[in-house]
Amino acid sequence: MVDAASKNSGVHLWLVLMKAHRALSRHAERSIEPSGLGLSDFAVLEVLLSKGPQKVNDIGRRIDLTSGSITTAVDRLETRGLVVRELDDADRRSRIVRLTPAGRAHIGEIFAQHAAALEAASSGLTKAERKSLIELLKKLGLAAERIPEVTRNRR
Question: Count of domains in the chain?
Answer: 1
**Closest-CA residue to 29 (of 40, 15, 13, 17):** 40
Indicate whether 25 belongs to any domain: yes
Q: Check: pTM over 0.85? Answer yes or no.
A: no
Indicate whether 150 belongs to any domain: no
Indicate whether 3 belongs to any domain: no
Burial class (CB in 10 A: 0-12, 13-18, 19+), 84: middle
Residue-wise pLDDT for 105-139, tens only, equals: 999 999 999 999 999 999 999 999 999 999 999 99
Give the domain extent around 81: 10-144
Indicate whether 2 belongs to any domain: no
Residue 97: its H or E element: strand 91-99
What CATH number does the domain containing 31 carry? 1.10.10.10
